[in-house]
A and B are shown apart, each in its own frame.
Chain A
Amino acid sequence: MATGAAHLSSSKLNLGLLRDFYRREFLECIDKCLGTKAIVWDDGLTGPFGLIAEYSLLKDHEVEKMFPLRTGSLPPSNVQNIVFLTRPRLELMEKIAQNLHHEETKGGYKKEFHLIFVPRKSLLCERKLKEKGVYGSFSTVEEFNMTLIPFDADLLSMEMNDAFKECYLENDFTSMYYAAQSLMTLQALYGTIQYIHGKGDCAKQVVDMMRRMRDEMGGREPQVLPQIDTLLILDRTVDLLTPLLYQLTYEGLIDEIFGINNTSIKLPAERLGPQPSQEGVESKKVILNSADTLFAELRDKNFNAVGSIVSKKAKLITAEFGERHAAKTIGEMKQFVSKLPHLQATRQSLATHTSIAELVKECTDADDFIDALRCQQEFINGLETDKVHPLVEECIAKSEKLSKVLRLICIQSICNDGLKPKVMDFYKREIIQTYGFEHIVTLNNLEKVGMLRPHGARTYQVIRKSLKLIVEEVNEQNPTDIAYVYSGYAPLSVRLAQYLARPGWRSITEVLNLLPGPKVEEVQQIPAALRKRRSSISSSQSSTGEQKLTLIFFLGGVTFAEIAALRFLAQQDDVGGELIVAATSIITSDRLLDSMGGDCCGTMEESPQ
């Protein structure tokens, strides 16, 4: 059943199981309406659903048409059922109501309407539909509880890009409920997680909700051998600095520059080498996951190390292709031919990644990128943070992208423990004057979530020193510390995970107290029958059996550079055990800051200069 998802099952925890689970549930859900059907998709769901099912599968289940959810009327179709698949968002309810109104005035062949909320029904949305007078038109209103989408063998995402904004700006903790629910689903599939650690307000909330949900099950706990030992839940507010910094790993840079959307990117077709591309196709989709072995190797490397690996691989593959000349006997020939498909696939992937790396290099070699990076390095080292930085001023004067300006200012603010009033006022005025008065709201929002704040107690320096966030002399080719992912800065969030694994959080109590939000620790009892027998008959396999598995859940999003650092940690002997990363979404600085904009600002018109 798990077609095209072999890469999900390559780690210790088989996430293919989760995918199959969702797949089954989804088919069951749509099979409930009989006859031919058209699915109307909320745009935000097509990507995630693409990862669990494919169109041919839906066709087998009588899905004849697929439409995007738009305002106005639905395209004509003669199916028996129309199924709306949507997230519980009020603005989408408007669209659905419009669609239904149009359908009803159209008359003609009678259709049945169904509504499926992903991941959960919402009282507010249902009320909205009732207000619009269309709720009664639905034959069924259901929910399909898909929250955590498996992206890779060690990566899960809820794809809720607004989770951070909703929690910290609007005090709307719905996404935390989903997070807790998704953790319950994981526990149902992979067994109860014994140890839970967390840091931050939301982490506490999630743990509390999990406890409540567990109580509600009233002893009907999953009788599954626990596979995950420890769960670490981290709030994004604990470490706001890391996501703002320029990611310097291969995958991180790709995400920053092109934006990875549900593990795939779109690239300009003419840049992808001499592949036969059809006329008129401007962009080509490239899927980025560990099914591509070359990418699996490259993704977490510092970008400076990518070039040499690619060229080494290129030599290797040329040599392997050369073997056919050496093949004398038929046996050798046969062996070569059997390798051929693999070789060709590798060559193809090599070509793709060479092109991508070239595109990325164009950006990283540009003056503005280098300048911004230099400015960032100064800030995180605590230099020049207390005055107006000339680069920021210049970026504003040039009307560069607002998200870039805000990014630098926020980094400065965090590294300086808040900006001095004079500096803050200067930046504020310049931004408002150049990008528009409406950004009073944006700046206000940034202050609310703490990315921008007035000068306060000095904590950054203490945290920086005691957690060794700044590492001089990083080896980008053969790293020895997680700091390689930001060329000299070790992400705070990942350091916390590292200290938790060894020697334990007790050793950094003081630092933890400086970070916002409460610390959470909880032990969930596991029925005796399911407990791991630490030293028993299976001790012969203890070397592998004792490997601990930790799940790290980021509330408010995680960056690819952090994921890379965590993967690096998992490979180190001194930490031991495997890591699985889950998050409300994969974020970049741009995505995070864009979500902070007031909704009236819309898209900034580029300035006429």
Chain B
Amino acid sequence: MDADDGEGFGDFRTRKKNIFDDDVSVEAAKKIITSARFDDDDLDDDMEILDLGSSTTSVKFSAGTAPSSKTMPDLSSLATPASSSVPSPANLRINPSAAEPRHSFGSFQKAAGHVRSQSLTIAPLKSGGDMQFPKVNMLRGSNTGSNSSLTIEEAVGTMGRKFGSMDVDQMQQEIIQLRKQLLAARKERWTKMPVDLTLRRIMKGEPYSLENYRALEDKLSLLDKAVTLMDGNAITAAVLHLKKTVKRATFQQELMLRPVAANHYLAYLRGHFEHAELIDTLSMLGRSEEAAIVKYRLACSTGDINTKVSSLKACLRAHFEAEPSLAGDASLIREHIDLLERQRPIEDSDARLEAEGRTKVFLDFPRRFALVNMPVTTTLFYCCLYHYHLQENSFASPVSIKKRHELPERQFVWTAVSARAKAKGWTDIEQLLTAKGWFGGKKLKAAIGFGKVVDILHRFQAPHDILAKYLELVEDLDTRLTLAKKTDCKKAMIETLVKQKDRAGVEEFARKYSATIEAEYARRVLRDEAIRWK
């Protein structure tokens, strides 16, 4: 590392000296000198301001103290008696000296802020310079700063301690230290630092500059080294530097060779919502599936329904249909588009009908949400509730939804039964569950099993006679009994117990519900000698 360092400086020196080389003409030398001079001036100014900016903290003690001393004019009278051992002149002597720099720097502080924002607009990548301010503070803070800040805090605050000559010494030492840092920064400014050193600075959050890496190989070696060091900040900085300074084609080419760097770049794009570039980069890297998903996500997050449909269509064409491996997803997206296009007219007309307030079903069951953007089964539920009897050629027809989205029979039955139960359309449920048997014979059949049908009906508070009808169809007797108990369907309970030939169960029932009509029925059953008990 040290050797590298020396080499770097060596470079620097030779570059500077070369104006005295024989092959340099006087004019050229002059030019170089003046331009360098100019650069230096520029730099000086810059650094001056930098310096002030970074020394704001040292001055900040007074910045912190000054206002409070203004708001509390009788501070000295408060402080003096508290610790009479310290002579008050010390206090008086220090205060002006601490306050003075503040006033004189006040305007510079603004200037510093201005330059900071300027450097932003001109060259965001010069962030190294910007980072200097906080970092210097931090370094200082960690060794001497916190100490001296504490004493000042105590001096101004309630503790009543005063400045000592120690504090002044400390501040002066700090000024010396900051000057040294400034000199070092000035020296380094135009040096091309070894890649390792720069990277380490990035990783440690110290000021750095990448603008001296001008050659492509320098930039790439910076990037590669950063990748081997696995530091996210460093990789991102190197990638962005590369992107800013080389042609787009070169950038993409180099990125393709470096998947890790590419990932960091993608994370950056994602974080900054640069979706277009994100999708482009993904496609370029051959990660078309990811690109498709990003695009789809983007389309999904569109608020307006019309825009959403058109951007979904665009996404389908551009990404999903173009990629054979995404054929499965493409058909899903097509369904998504169809669903939205189905929901749109239904929503429009239903919203109008509800607003008019003349359609009974909307009065009975006020709509709790807009239909658009709801999932398929919810849409089906909605249509079963409000538009159950529509013909299949209508948009809102449940059967047409079932067909288009290839809903499995069970899912359809489940949803339709729930919706009709909510609408108290018991006959609809019966019709739905009636299957035509051989020779036109009719038979009730439920794809989800009658146990579940009873569950659903119970949930929507179906009357007992309806429940009993379906309970009878539950084949497993134990399940039927449990369900009968759960739904509090007493008649079905007795009948099931009789079927199970469980006399003790019936007796217990008669005892438990002795006051009900069903208990009478139970007693009658118990007297019935035709039944063979277990």
Query: Is there a chain A Cβ closer than 8 Å to B231's Cβ?
Result: yes
Asked if A433 and B329 make an inter-chain contact with CB atoms under 8 angstroms apart, the answer reads: no
Which residues of B sit under 8 angstroms from A258, Cβ to Cβ? none
User: Does A434 contact B64, Cβ atoms closer than 8 Å?
Assistant: no
Distance from A191 Cβ to chain B, minimum over Cβ atoms (Å): 23
Residue of B nearest to A607 (CB): B378
Given contacts A140-B57, A433-B375, A438-B300, whether A135 and B116 have CB atoms under 8 Å apart is yes
Of B67, B232, B271, which one neighbours A173 at CB under 8 angstroms?
B232
Among candidates B57, B301, B339, B377, residue contacting A600 with C-beta atoms closer than 8 Å: B301
- Judge whether A172 and B418 touch: CB under 8 Å: no
Interface positions, chain A 161-211, Cβ under 8 Å from B, are 170-174, 177, 205, 208-209
Chain A 121-152, CB-CB to B under 8 Å as 1, else 0, gives 11110111011010111111111000000000
Segment from B138-146, B175-183, B352-360, B469-477 that makes contact with A: B138-146
Q: Which residue of B lies closest to A432 (CB)?
A: B332
A130 interface neighbour in B61, B124, B267, B272, Cβ under 8 Å: B124
Q: For the complex, what is the distance from the CA of A489 to the CA of B422, rounded to whole Å?
A: 43
A30 to chain B, nearest CB (A): 11
Q: Mark B291-331, 1 if CB is under 8 A from A, else 0.
A: 00100110011000000000000000000000000001100
Instruction: Give A176's nearest chain B residue, CB to CB.
Output: B230
- A80 close to chain B: CB less than 8 A: yes
Q: In the complex, what residue of chain B is closest to A36 when comparing beta carbons?
A: B68
A-side interface size class: 35 or more
Are A139 and B56 interface neighbours, CB within 8 A? yes
Q: Are A142 and B134 in contact (CB under 8 A)?
A: yes
Encode contact with B along A423-440: 1 for CB under 8 Å, 0 otherwise: 001100110111111101
- Asked if residues B232 and A133 are in contact (CB atoms below 8 Å), the reply is no
Residues from chain A with Cβ under 8 Å of B153 in the complex: 31, 34
A-B contact pairs, 25 of them (CB 8 A): A34-B61, A80-B64, A122-B233, A130-B124, A130-B130, A135-B120, A136-B116, A140-B57, A140-B134, A141-B133, A170-B270, A172-B263, A173-B232, A208-B230, A396-B411, A397-B411, A397-B414, A430-B411, A433-B405, A434-B378, A437-B332, A437-B333, A437-B335, A440-B293, A600-B301
**Chain A residues positioned under 8 Å from B194 (CB to CB):** none
Q: Does A74 contact B (CB under 8 A)?
A: no
Q: A444 at the A/B interface (Cβ < 8 Å)?
A: yes
Q: Are A608 and B376 in contact (CB under 8 A)?
A: no
Is B368 on the interface with A (CB-CB < 8 A)? yes
* Chain B neighbourhood of A171, CB < 8 A: 263, 266-267
Whether A607 lies near B377 (C-beta < 8 A) is yes
Q: Could you list which residues of chain A lie within 8 angstroms of chain B, going by C-beta atoms?
A: 28, 31-35, 80, 90, 112, 120-124, 126-128, 130-131, 133, 135-143, 170-174, 177, 205, 208-209, 212, 216, 393-394, 396-397, 399, 425-426, 429-430, 432-438, 440-441, 444, 598-600, 605, 607-609
- List, in ascending order, chain B residues with CB within 8 A of A143's CB: 205
Distance in Å from the Cβ of A297 to the closest Cβ of chain B? 38
Kindly identify which residue among A90, A112, A397, A608 contacts B369, using a CB–CB cutoff of 8 Å: A608
Q: How far is the CB of B438 from chain A (nearest CB, A)?
A: 29
Query: Does B448 touch A at the CB level, under 8 Å?
Result: yes
| A32 lies within 8 A of B145 (CB) | yes
Q: A208-B230, A437-B332, A440-B296 are in contact. Are A133 and B410 (CB under 8 A)?
A: no
Asked if residues B297 and A599 are in contact (CB atoms below 8 Å), the reply is: yes
Cα–Cα, bound, A48→B455 (Å): 45
B127 CB contacts on chain A under 8 angstroms = 123, 126-127, 130
B130 touches A34 (CB 8 A): no
Give every chain A residue within 8 A of B68 (Cβ-Cβ). 35, 80
B388 part of interface (Cβ distance < 8 Å) = no
Excluding A128-B272, A608-B378, 8 further A-B contacts by CB distance (< 8 Å) are: A32-B145, A34-B65, A123-B233, A136-B116, A173-B232, A397-B411, A437-B339, A600-B297
List of A residues within 8 angstroms of B113 by Cβ: 136-137
B230 touches A608 (CB 8 A): no
Whether A436 contacts B375 by the Cβ 8 Å rule is yes
The reply on B163 being an interface residue by CB < 8 A is: no
Whole-angstrom CA separation of A366 from B98 in the bound complex: 71
**Cβ contact of B60, chosen from A34, A142, A430, cutoff 8 A:** A34
Cβ distance A354 to chain B, nearest Cβ, rounded Å: 29
Closest Cβ of chain A: how far from B97's Cβ, in Å? 17
Binary per-residue interface labels of chain B (110-123) against chain A in the complex, 1 for a CB within 8 Å, 0 otherwise: 00010011001000
Residues of A within 8 A of B116 (CB): 135-136
Instruction: Pick the 5 closest A-B CB pairs, nearest first.
Output: A34-B64, A433-B376, A141-B134, A136-B116, A437-B336
Q: Find out whether the CB atom of B332 lies under 8 angstroms from the CB atom of A440.
A: yes
A158 CB to closest chain B CB (Å) equals: 16
Residue B268 lies at the interface, judged by CB distance under 8 Å to chain A? yes
User: Are A608 and B368 in touch, CB under 8 angstroms?
Assistant: yes
Q: Which residue of B124, B149, B335 contacts A34 across the interface (Cβ within 8 Å)? A: B149
Query: In the assembled complex, how far is the CB of residue A575 from the closest CB belonging to chain B, in whole angstroms?
Result: 33
Closest to B411 in A: A397
Min Cβ gap B145→A in Å is 7
A123 pairs with B236, CB closer than 8 A? yes
B267 touches A123 (CB 8 A): no
Q: Return A337 CB to nearest CB of chain B, in Å.
A: 42
The answer to whether A126 touches B131, judged by C-beta atoms less than 8 angstroms apart, is: yes
Cβ-defined contact, A437 with B293, below 8 A: no
Shortest CB-to-CB span from B103 to chain A, Å, is 15
Residue of chain B at shortest CB distance from A396: B411
A437-B375 contact given A90-B271, A133-B117, CB 8 Å threshold: yes
Closest to A604 in B: B375
Given contacts A123-B236, A140-B57, A397-B411, contact A440 B149 (CB under 8 A): no
Chain B 349-381 interface 0/1 with A at a Cβ cutoff of 8 Å (1 = within): 000000000000000000011000111111001
Q: Closest chain B residue to A445 by CB distance? A: B293
Inter-chain CA distance A177–B226, complex, in Å, is 14
Q: Which of B268-288 contact A (CB under 8 A)?
A: 268, 270-272
Say whether A216 contacts B200, CB under 8 Å: yes
A124 touches B268 (CB 8 A): yes
Report chain A residues within 8 Å CB of B415.
397, 609
Which chain A residues border B369 with CB–CB below 8 Å? 605, 608
- Indicate with 1 or 0, residue by residue over B123-160, a CB within 8 angstroms of chain A CB atoms: 01001001101100110010001100110110000000
- Indicate if the CB atoms of A212 and B120 lie closer than 8 Å: no
A299–B296 Cα gap in the complex (Å)? Answer: 45
Q: A31-B149, A441-B293 are in contact. Are A608 and B300 (CB under 8 A)?
A: no
Measured CB to CB, the nearest residue on chain B to A599 is B297
List of B residues within 8 angstroms of A394 by Cβ: 452
Say whether B237 faces chain A, with CB atoms less than 8 Å apart.
yes
With most chain B CB atoms within 10 A of its CB, the pick from A216, A397, A425, A600 is A397
Report the separation of the CA atoms of residues A604 and B407 in the bound assembly, to the nearest whole angstrom: 21
Q: Which residues of B contact A34 (CB under 8 A)?
A: 60-61, 64-65, 149, 152-153
B26 touches A (CB below 8 Å): no
Contact of B141 among A32, A138, A430 (CB under 8 A): A32
Contacts of B368 in A (CB 8 A): 608
Given the contacts A90-B271, A123-B237, A608-B368, A28 and B411 also touching, CB distance less than 8 Å: no
Q: Which single member of A31, A393, A440, A605 contacts B150 (CB below 8 Å)?
A: A31
Report the bound CA distance from A262 to B56 in whole Å.
39
Q: Decide if B375 touches A127 in the complex (CB within 8 Å).
A: no
**B297 and A598 form a contact (CB under 8 A):** yes
Residue of B nearest to A27 (CB): B146
User: With A and B bound together, what is the CA distance between A363 and B131 in angstroms?
Assistant: 53
In the assembly, what is the distance between CA of A604 and CA of B414, in Å? Answer: 20
Closest residue to A444 on the B side, CB-wise? Answer: B293
Contact assessment for A609 and B418 in the assembled complex, using a CB-CB cutoff below 8 Å: yes
Within 8 Å of chain A (Cβ to Cβ): is B229? yes
Contact between chains at B301 and A608 (CB < 8 Å):
no
Cβ of B450 under 8 Å from chain A: no
The winner among B131, B138, B230 for most chain A CB atoms within 10 A is B230
A124 touches B263 (CB 8 A): no
Whether a CB of chain A sits under 8 angstroms from the CB of B395 is: no
Q: Which residues of A contact B134 (CB under 8 A)?
A: 138, 140-142
Known: A135-B130, A433-B375, A434-B376. A441 touches B200 (CB 8 A): no
Interface status of B213 (Cβ within 8 A of chain A):
no
